Amino acid sequence: MTHSHIAFSRSITVQPDTSQLYEVRRFVESVAADATLDSERTFDLMVAVSEACANAVEHSGSPGLPVKVKAACRGGRLVIQICDYGGFRLPSTANGFQRDHRGLGLPLMVALMDEVRIAKLSGGGTKVTLSVKLPAPALC
């Protein structure tokens, strides 16, 4: 039996503002539909991508530089890459103890995805690669 192949690659670039996350999720939703993900995995992917984009916007320290989101369906997986052009840095402790949240973004991405990969870009910046396995029979 051969599988149908619908390998594709699509991308969007958004301004580094958290108001753009809504837009990014519409992109993820559409890509997930193309890859025939069910609503549960689509939700997981929307959350993981939103977390990665929120981090790029809030932490990378590259005001004005856009965030790139690229989706590809290949090897039985839907893979989404989020790139920013700032620098990966930890928050200073100087005001650290007032922070209400608990650094949920990275652990949540890992908990939801089949694989998370975080690499430094050579020119500075961070590339987060999120991937979910597609249900068998894999469509790409």
Partner 1 sequence: MELSTSELAGTPVIRIRGEIDHGNASTLSTAIDDLLNTEQHVIILDVTQVDYMDSGGISVLLSALRRLRERGWLGIINPNANVQRLFQIVGLALDSSFRVFDDNAAAEQALRETART
Ligand X SMILES: Nc1ncnc2c1ncn2[C@@H]1O[C@H](COP(=O)(O)OP(=O)(O)O)[C@@H](O)[C@H]1O
Judged by the rule CB under 6 A, the positions of this chain that interact with ligand X are: 51, 55-56, 59-60, 84, 86, 88-91, 101, 103-107, 126
- From the list partner 1, ligand X, its own copies, none, pick the one residue 123 interacts with, judged by a Cβ distance below 5 to 8 Å according to partner type: none
Q: Of residues 54, 65, 118, 121, which one binds partner 1 by CB under 8 A?
A: 54
Which of 19, 20, 27, 65 lies closest to 46 in space, CA to CA? 27
Burial of 70 (0-12, 13-18, 19+ CB in 10 A): middle
- The listed partner (partner 1, ligand X, its own copies, none) that binds 7, CB under 5 to 8 Å by sort, is none
Among ligand X, partner 1, its own copies, none, the one that 114 touches (CB under a kind-dependent 5 to 8 A) is: its own copies
Encoded amino acid at 78, one letter: L
User: Degrees (nearest 5) of the Cα angle 29, 59, 48?
Assistant: 25
Q: Is 112 left (phi over 0), alpha (psi -120 to 50) or beta?
A: alpha
* First-last CA distance in the chain: 14
Helix ranges, 4-133 (H)? 21-34, 39-59, 105-112
Q: Which does 84 bind (CB under 5 to 8 A by kind): its own copies, ligand X, partner 1, none?
A: ligand X
> Which of 6, 7, 33, 104 is close enough to bind its own copies by CB under 8 A?
104
Site string for its own copies, 22-61 (x = CB under 8 A): ----------------------------------------
